[in-house]
Amino acid sequence: MTPEAFNSLFSICIGFALAGALVNGYQAFAQRPAGFGLLQDGVAPKTFAAVPLLVFAAPFIIMRNTLGGMRVESRRAEFVMLATVIAGFWSMMSGTFFLMTLRATGVIG
């Protein structure tokens, strides 16, 4: 495995772990699951506060909704595959941003 491929895989893993931690932390704090419905409250401070949460938690929410919908609504495999690719790419981007932030602050070398 090339170093670039390993770095991408690590970013995907970190992105999904970060997304899962954020969603579970939100659920423990708010006593309800996080979802894209947080943006439907109109122009309010809590809506603006939900944007950064959803930016990093989106891969987990996408996969949770996709896998739940696959069981309940019998979604086609192509839709599930497309949602998985989107969530994986989003996870790689958020994981890369998180790792770059950690490097810039000197937490990791």
The string of DSSP codes covering 35-89 is -GGGGGG-S-HHHHHHHHHHHHHHHHHHHHHHHHHHHHH---HHHHHHHHHHHHH
Structural domain boundaries of the chain? 3-105
108 CB-near residues (< 8 Å, 6+ apart): 99, 102
**pTM score, whole prediction:** 0.86
Minimal CA–CA distance to 14: which of 83, 82, 103? 103
pLDDT tens digits, residue range 22-62? Answer: 999 999 999 999 999 888 878 888 888 899 999 999 999 99
**Between 77 and 107, where is the model more confident?**
107
Q: 99: part of which helix (H) or strand (E)?
A: helix 77-105
Reply yes or no on whether the pLDDT at 109 is more than 80: no
**Cα–Cα dist 19/49, whole Å:** 16
- Over residues 59-79, the pLDDT tens digits come to 999 999 998 888 888 888 899
How far apart are the C-alpha atoms of 89 and 83, rounded to whole Å? Answer: 10
